[in-house]
Amino acid sequence: MSKLIRKGGGQPLRDAMKRHGLSAPKLAAATRQVDVSGRGVSAATVYKVTGAGQAAARECRLRTAWLLTTAMDEPLQDHFDMPSVSTDTVER
């Protein structure tokens, strides 16, 4: 499964949350509204993906990134990069 890399150590995500007036629990609740399954993302995951420091996650699943950015009505590419292609996985 593809993982996306946070841009700027998560600062763009934190800035977007501030612009939208969202705390981690409020953003987690907003992800449940945009998730067709209604599960969304937990507040703990929001803290890990948007946080700074050693406890923060550098990468997250595509689904998580999509739910977070969609809940804030923000473009995914403003907040996440695709990982570079490894030469180990390229066909020769």
Where residue 62 falls among pLDDT bands split at 50, 70, 90? very high
Please indicate, yes or no, whether the overall pTM of this predicted structure exceeds 0.75: yes
Query: In whole angstroms, what is the distance from residue 78 CA to residue 80 CA?
Result: 6
Question: What's the average model confidence in pLDDT over 33-51?
Answer: 97
The closest of 29, 32, 13 to 75, measured between CA atoms, is 13
The closest of 22, 4, 24, 26 to 78, measured between CA atoms, is 4
Query: In whole angstroms, what is the distance from residue 59 CA to residue 43 CA?
Result: 16
Where residue 28 falls among pLDDT bands split at 50, 70, 90? very high
